[in-house]
Amino acid sequence: MSINLIKAERNLPDEVVKLCKEFSKKNGLMMRMNMYSFMAASILNAPIEDDDYVIEIGTYHGFTAIFVARMLNYMGKNNKVVSIDPFDRLSGGVIGSHIKYMQNVNRQDLKEQCIAISSYSSEVASLLRGEIPFMIIDGGHKYENIKSDIELYLPKLKIGGIAYLHDNDEIRYPGITRAISELIRGNKKYNILMDDYYFIIERIS
C-alpha cells in the first residue's frame, strides 16, 4: 500500500512537530516549516533497519543532517547519516563549509552518527554499498548535476525506500524540474508521494 504522505504529515507526533519548529526557527527563511514536517513524515515511513545508513547529497553546514539524525534518535535508532558535499572544493554556487558542519554536528553531540564525505557525489557513488532506505538529493542544481545524482543514486534506493528531492522549482531551478521530468515521471519503479517544491518519491519495484 502506498504511503499517504500528506496524512502522515498532518498526524505527526507532538514531539516531532516540536523538533520541526525548532529547526525551522533555527534556519529562518532558508527552510520552511513544512520542509521539515514532510521530511519527518518521510523518515518515519521509510524502511530503515538497524544496519542501514541514509544519504544526504549536499549538506551545506549540516543542519539537515542533524535534523535527520535527531529524527532517527526519536525513533530509537542511531543509523549513520552520510552527507556528501565537496564543501570548499566547489567553485561557484552555494558553498558549504566542512568546518562549520563539524562545529554544528559536535555541538549536537552527533559526531559519531553524522559522517561527512568531502567529495563530489559522482566520485563516491560506486563506493557506497548496500541498499539505502532514505536519501536526500539537494546537491548541484544544474541539469547535469541533478541528472547525475538521480542516475547514480536512485538505483541504490531499496524497495519501499524514500527519496526527497529539494528545490523542484521550474522558474528558479529549471534543470531540476527537467531532470525529474525526464528520469522519474512516468518511471514505473517510483511512486510520487509529493509533487511540490519538495519532490518526494517511493521506490515500488
DSSP characters over 98-129:
HHHHHHHHHHTT-TTTEEEEES-HHHHGGG--
At 88, is the secondary structure helix, strand, or coil? helix
- What's the pLDDT score for residue 27? 72
pLDDT for 76 beyond 90: yes
CA 175, chain centre distance (Å) = 18
At 160, is the secondary structure helix, strand, or coil? strand
pLDDT for 118 beyond 70: yes
- What's the pLDDT score for residue 168? 83
Pairing of strands 190-195, 199-203: antiparallel
Q: How deeply is 129 buried, as exposed, middle or buried, from its count of CB atoms within 10 A (0-12, 13-18, 19+)?
A: exposed
- pLDDT tier, 88 (very low <50, low <70, confident <90, very high otherwise): confident
Query: Taking the domains of the chain in order of start, what are their residue ranges?
Result: 49-203
* Pick among 3.30.499.10, 3.90.1150.10, 3.40.50.10490, 3.40.50.150: CATH of 49-203: 3.40.50.150
- Report the length, in residues, of the chain: 205
CA distance 136 to 65: 9
CA 70, chain centre distance (Å) = 14
- What's the pLDDT score for residue 34? 85
Give percent above pLDDT 90 in the chain: 79
Model pLDDT for residues 21-43, shown as the tens digit of each residue: 999 887 764 457 788 999 999 99
- What's the pLDDT score for residue 193? 96
CA distance 205 to 189: 5
Residue range 83-102: mean pLDDT, rounded: 80
